[in-house]
Structure 1
Amino acid sequence: MTLDFWVRTNGTWINAISIIAGTISGLLLKKHLPAKMQLIITQGVALITIFIGLQMAGSLTQVKNTRVDGIVLGLIAIAVGGVLGEWWKLEERLYSLGDFIKALFPGSDYFTDGFVASSLLFCVGPMALIGSFNNGLTGNNTILMLKATMDGISAIALSSSYGIGVGFSAIILLLYQGTVSLIAGLLIQVLPNPTNHPCLLLITGVGGLTILGLGLNLLAVTQIRVASLLPSLLIAPLLYLLTIK
């Protein structure tokens, strides 16, 4: 199965357009969007994030042909990945990257803060990685369409506070998600059945757990160091290869 450029990347283009549209809307509504409304928008995004995370995490129950249950593999992947993430100080490095990007854009602090905050929010996370991977691998853009909706709504709230810098994060998103989708397209010839391959189910399931963490963070229920869990996405398929029957 060979997918053309648009089919492999359409989710990313739609995602970028949603961010730009959300930014424009936020700028137009800036003086008419009270703090309480901004808060309820964020909470709505958080609830949808949790729902999507739970749905994706359910993929762990579909993992077959292993000597260890998929849920157990997900637990091990999260634990080992979290330890590696803390060892590599991914959370701290993420903030250092934000400071570095700020230094590249002298001028308005609000522009820079908006650009950095939105770039990290829209690009750093398993939904961007898994959604782009699925889009490039199978042409399925469902995850990225959901993400585009969430990002567009989030951009409204962010741009009302930070300004036009939020819209420029669409450039970073295009580069990141587009590259992942195109690389994933090369794997079609490697995986016999990319739609339900156990490795992808594990990645999706573990990614769902980290997305669930993002939702809880947005609700301020707790503060999970989600960036430290990102190595779990690499650990998961390795565990499958070690436990395959």
Structure 2
Amino acid sequence: MVGLGTIVDVVAIIGGGLVGMIFQQFISPQLRRIVMQTLGLAVIFVGMAGTLSHMLRIAANGQLTTINSMMLIISLTIGGILGWLLHLENAVTYLAQWFKRIFKRQNDTRFITGFISATIPTCVGAMLIIGALQDGLQHDPQLLFTKAILDGVTVAIFAAAYGMGALLAAVPVGVLQGGITFLAVFVRPWLTTAMLDGVSLVGSVLIFAVGLNVLFELKLPVLNMLPALIVAMVYTLFG
């Protein structure tokens, strides 16, 4: 069944969010901070591992070399500029504010923070793109099943810290991931290994940036950098 992986992922996010909201009153602010810092640290190393796996290669002479450095720099730079011009951060904030009005959460100051914080790690990354492509092209949702477990735990933690806003990350995940899955059949003739590697590399760097934001409470504009994923595909196509 095409799209099964996304369905399971969305259900896991909603379930994890509900669990986090139910038990949030039993979790002290100190424990939440520790959990968030631990999650941030884990996300940093997940992003770092993905980045290094797509940048480091062992040459024929046994020396360690780097690849795709220029592609990464160009993709992040152009992607960041495009994201800023498109006001992607503002668009997501407006979406979160719309959800606040729909669910009558105007006085919930944590709502937008929770929505954005949960949306970034669940929507940004190679696992979403590659998993959605595998589900659409090969009818193999196993990678998205794994992602569902990670997303459920992640959203549960964010929901415990920020409330209902985190649970609604299921909406952009369903739209983006499901859209990629159903469009995969049409883009199949143009997909190459180099394109997937480029997207995986840039996605891993963005995941690393998410970890920095969570661990150190920074405000790196990761949402504005999302077009870098598209730039990476174009670069590998014509580079």
SS of corresponding position for 1:219: helix
Question: What's the counterpart of residue 150 of structure 2?
Answer: 150
Question: What's the counterpart of residue 91 of structure 1?
Answer: 89
- Whole-angstrom CA distance in 2 between matches of 1:72 and 1:164: 40
- Whole-angstrom CA distance in 2 between matches of 1:155 and 1:170: 9
Q: Is the 8 A contact 1:200 1:237 kept in 2?
A: yes
User: How many percent of aligned residue pairs carry the same amino acid?
Assistant: 24
Question: What's the counterpart of residue 179 of structure 2?
Answer: 179
Candidates 7, 10, 13, aligned match of 2:7: 13
Q: What is the CA deviation profile of residues 154-208 of structure 1, one whole-angstrom value per residue up to 9, with x for unaligned ones?
A: 33233335545644543553333222212124333544xx6xx101111111111
- Whole-angstrom CA distance in 1 between matches of 2:91 and 2:175: 20
Q: Is the 8 A contact 1:102 1:116 kept in 2?
A: no
Q: Is the 8 A contact 2:123 2:176 kept in 1?
A: no
Q: What is the CA deviation profile of residues 70-116 of structure 1, one whole-angstrom value per residue up to 9, with x for unaligned ones?
A: 22212211122112222322223322332233333335744992784
TM-score (norm 1): 0.75
Residue range with higher mean Cα deviation, 85-94 or 130-139: 130-139
Question: What's the counterpart of residue 74 of structure 2?
Answer: 76
Q: Please provide the CA RMSD for this pair.
A: 3.2
Question: What's the counterpart of residue 126 of structure 1?
Answer: 125
> Is 1:36 aligned with 2:30?
yes
Question: What's the counterpart of residue 205 of structure 1?
Answer: 201
Q: What is the CA deviation profile of residues 27-62 of structure 1, one whole-angstrom value per residue up to 9, with x for unaligned ones?
A: 442332112222222223222322221232232457
- Whole-angstrom CA distance in 2 between matches of 1:39 and 1:126: 24
List gaps (5 residues or longer) in structure 1.
Answer: 63-68
Q: Letter of the aligned partner of 1:148 in structure 2?
A: A
Q: Is the 8 A contact 1:119 1:173 kept in 2?
A: no
List gaps (5 residues or longer) in structure 2.
Answer: 58-66
Candidates 217, 238, 242, aligned match of 2:238: 242
Question: What's the counterpart of residue 216 of structure 2?
Answer: 220
